[in-house]
Amino acid sequence: MDHAGERHRLARAEPGAAVVGVELEPERATAAARAHADARTHFREGGFALPLSPDEPARLVRAMNLLRQGPPERIPEAHLAMSRPLLPGGLLVEGSSDTDGAVLVAHLLRRTPEAGAPAREGLLFHTDFSRGFAPLLLRDWLPRDLRRRVRPGEPMHAFFQAWETAWKAARAEGHTAPPDAFAGSVARLARMTPGVSTDAWLLAHGFLRWCPPGGTPA
């Protein structure tokens, strides 16, 4: 995990926030603390049941590449465990990325006031364009429980078909540079697919947020 990169991104977004990094292996937790800990950044050994005390509620939990190999039927249990420390309305971001974090897709899971299983609010797609851009590039990094759902008749299949059509239309109009093709394709996709955000900041930074009515397909 790129601890330094994550720490710097969180510091820019919320300069006063405390950050706790969790590592399963004690040696990795110690090494991460030695390299990256500071007054607001700490590292602890732990797993899905995050090692936070009752007086340490979290607003955001980010977990990437933790569930890529496990059985899909265990994923709801892991989501519930990781969301327990969240404040009501807090967000769990769980998904998959390549080694450098250049391409990622993550669940957006919102802690509800009832404190049950987090609501499957949407999906976040991201690319930094270092690998070019095509919708299929992001499909390969879907979270574990969605990777086998991209087949005819499934909502994820319809989503990527629509995005592929929008991408081809954007390129046909001359938007061939990856950032332009991305922004142009998302603008067209939003006209065909409910819940696709066209927020200018997100598009400029290579993010697509999709919050479909009724939540992410289960």
Pair of tokens at residue 199: 């927020």
Q: What pLDDT score does 6 carry?
A: 55
Please list the rounded mean pLDDT of every run of 10 residues in the chain (218 residues): 52 69 80 77 85 88 90 92 93 95 97 86 98 95 93 96 98 97 98 97 97 92
Q: What is the pTM of this model?
A: 0.87
